[in-house]
Structure 1
């Protein structure tokens, strides 16, 4: 399971952008993932449990007793809530046989449920000391993201989470769950780093795509929900719509249909802003003042008409903010903007608070990321030009860099149910 775990368990974890994409909610301690359905688990362990009882009746070696205690604890730990008797049996198992890796893993999960994250990490670390294991690495990765919530060292914890997720993938590059866990780790990192490093999102989407190649993972609706979340913040709106729709079909309870409506509402607003633009003499006069702007840098002034799609290095587009476009998500901020040629475009800005840019402000967009968005969905088509600003260093507002209090700080990791849905 992952920080983002599950819509299907109220107490289970759901990993950060972020029950669904809303501003960060109060922190809660996520639980490790639930094991397989109880009936399946019982079917799996019952023969071994029965056998272990017969063995114990004849020869009570420490190793045999350890297996017996482990199986009892594992059965008692199938429920989502913490069960002290399960912990007691699992603790006995690892005392009797410290090399019983599965018992350490189950004990860590059990202790995680009661909120003792440090002890849970100790269990996973002890299990790893017996040898590399992808399941343990994934659990440790998820636990580190849980520990990042509200922690002063959250960025470092999330980076450790990525590191362990990568190690799990390297042990079995065909394992969809490991790829899925890595995707969640990168998506969490995007929000922790201030919601502006889009390379994290690209890595996340790639990991989710690899997870989808595994037949056992591609049935997971949370995979599509989380990948759609990453695509939404990459402004790949059509792919995001398809992903949320797929998640909604696989599990209507996820609320992914609400995310579809949010994106459509946003696109309607952006499209409406572009179509409602007014080329008044007053605006023309206001825009003409942009020619006098001195950006004090080596960037070459440009208008949107000469940009190439993608990143335009050493170029600065000067624009006048015409309209703040309000919408349901906390990031990014969207503005209808006009350049020196009176060409309109949508400006999306990450990493800044909403008061950083006001209507009427002059903006200089350094190294702009330019795209012509063309989105078709349910007989609707949206077309507009867009510039995305990923980092505060890429924008000047009224010829000045944004002051520190307008720059978004590192965020705490939202509850999994806030942004990332994950069923590992």
Structure 2
């Protein structure tokens, strides 16, 4: 008897039913993971990985009980190996067994797009960005190859439109993962190249969303891409608005809604917008969804400490004694208004020939204070692990104390105690919150461009301007 004949005799008699059953079991396993918080209280978050692992191990036993080389016909081996690798790959950590199965699957069938995508995720978990990128690009390449080979047949049977939609659905994972990789690689490139990579990242994420506008994970990736564009390319408020809109769309999908990444990255954006209460809530919720995950814990601790420090700095006026504080305030010289002094004209956005009126900080209104300028003394600053924004407190003749948050100020720069600071058209915000971790109540003035303020009568130099950088996080759970 020939070897081929021997193999044929070992093939499972009901192989089609076995494959169908394993496919159903695999779908149920991933649904159990992805919809966990739709069916379980958030208090069970600590048990999620353990419960998923138990179900995975039970399914792994079914896969490992089958000898792929003898019991599965050659025509189905690539699909079987893909499914087996996907089962191994459900863990948030790298599993070399998944890589082995998926590598064999794409060798047996290079056009198996799902296997390329799954292999890319394996490499990504193993911090092998180069091979992950190659895998996702391979998936896109083979989708195109399949499309052009079969397009003629589908035209003949009038199903081309349905087939295009089918291919697109299978393709969005490649697009969004490439979007993530491009953003990660941008940190190692020169500014011009990095900007181009980030903009390309946004386009890929948009394309992924277009494949299925109900896919919340794609919306999350798009939100992250916009967030990166805002910080690394141009701080256009419209971009940040698009970012928050994408996160809102992501939240409508039960799968994305249960992912801590969504809340962590949204918290980063909210923190920059100085919507502190909402930022704290999002970091807190990310911690509850994935208790072992460290980034949201760190951000929650940093922001809580920052708010506590800001509250204390303003409340105690830098802990300066009354006499010392009085001397500082009395030494404020209107000559320090410099270019913002009486009789001068300025351009703010679309408004030209604007004159400024010196007012006390106690006269400021919440929101924009157009046509106003303040002059005050620095009484203290906040030293934090995260230097963005550079934050200091000022006091003027009204003895009111406010925080000034300055973004895009180069590391090592900033105002020190005793400096006289002039801020034109100050935008005032009131921050008040009471949460288990922190209680705070203070006012602040936000400055996005440090070159708009004067320190001791002199404008901050262009050499002290540096774009704020932020890191968004996306993990495959």
Q: 2:134 corresponds to which residue?
A: 119
1:12-411 residue pairs with structure 2 within 5 A? 40=56, 43=59, 57=73, 67=79, 70-71=82-83, 74=86, 80-81=94-95, 85-86=100-101, 88-95=103-110, 98=111, 100-110=112-122, 112=124, 113=126, 114-117=128-131, 119-127=134-142, 129=144, 130=147, 131-132=167-168, 133-152=171-190, 153-193=193-233, 200-255=239-294, 256-277=296-317, 280-289=325-334, 292-295=337-340, 297-298=345-346, 299-302=354-357, 303=359, 304-305=361-362, 307-312=364-369, 316-339=373-396, 341-359=398-416, 360-378=418-436, 381-408=439-466, 411=469
| C-alpha separation in 1, matches of 2:88 and 2:225 | 30
Structure number with larger C-alpha Rg:
2
Determine the structure 1 residue equivalent to 2:4: none
- Higher alpha-carbon deviation: 185-194 or 340-349: 185-194
TM-score normalised by structure 2 residue count: 0.66
Q: CA 1:53/1:410 → structure 2, altered by over 3 Å: closer, same or farther?
A: same
1:251/1:71 Cα in 2 relative to 1: closer, same or farther (>3 Å)? closer
Q: Distance between the aligned counterparts of 2:180 and 2:54, measured in 1? A: 23
> What secondary structure, in the 3-state scheme, does the structure 2 residue paired with 1:243 have?
helix
Q: C-alpha offsets along residues 183-227 of structure 1, whole Å, 9 cap, x if unaligned?
A: 222333344349x66655444333223222222222223322222
- Report the 3-state secondary structure (helix = DSSP H, G, I; strand = E; otherwise coil) of the residue aligned with 1:252: coil
| Deviation (angstroms), 1:387 | 0.9
Q: Secondary structure of 1:287's partner? A: coil
Deviation at 1:320, TM superposition (A): 3.1
Q: Structure 1 residue 182: deviation in Å? A: 1.7
Structure 2: 5+ residue stretches without partners: 1-51, 148-166, 347-353
Higher helix share: 2
Q: CA deviation at 1:334?
A: 0.5
For the residue of structure 1 that corresponds to 2:331, the secondary structure is: helix
| Partner-residue secondary structure (3-state), 2:243 | helix
Q: TM-score, length-normalised on structure 1?
A: 0.73
1:356 is displaced (CA, Å) by 2.4
Distance (Å, rounded) in 2 between the aligned partners of 1:423 and 1:307: 47
Query: Is contact 1:365-1:396 (8 Å) kept?
Result: yes
In 1, are the aligned partners of 2:85 and 2:100 still within 8 Å (CA)? Answer: yes
**1:135-188 deviations in Å (ceiling 9; x for gaps):** 222122112122223122222212221222222223333222112112222333
Aligned-residue RMSD, C-alpha: 3.8
Q: How many residues align?
A: 375
Distance 1:90 1:68, change over 3 A: same
Q: Tell me, in whole angstroms, the C-alpha distance in 1 between the residues paired with 2:207 and 2:183.
A: 16
With over 3 angstroms needed to count, the CA separation of the structure-2 counterparts of 1:240 and 1:379, relative to structure 1, is: closer
Change (3 A) 1:82 1:320: farther
Partner secondary structure for residue 116 of structure 1: helix
- C-alpha deviation, 1:236, in angstroms: 1.4
Where does the alignment leave 5 or more consecutive residues of structure 1 unmatched? Answer: 1-35
> 379-388 or 330-339, which moves further after superposition?
379-388
Whether the 8 Å CA contact 1:290–1:340 is kept in 2: the answer is no
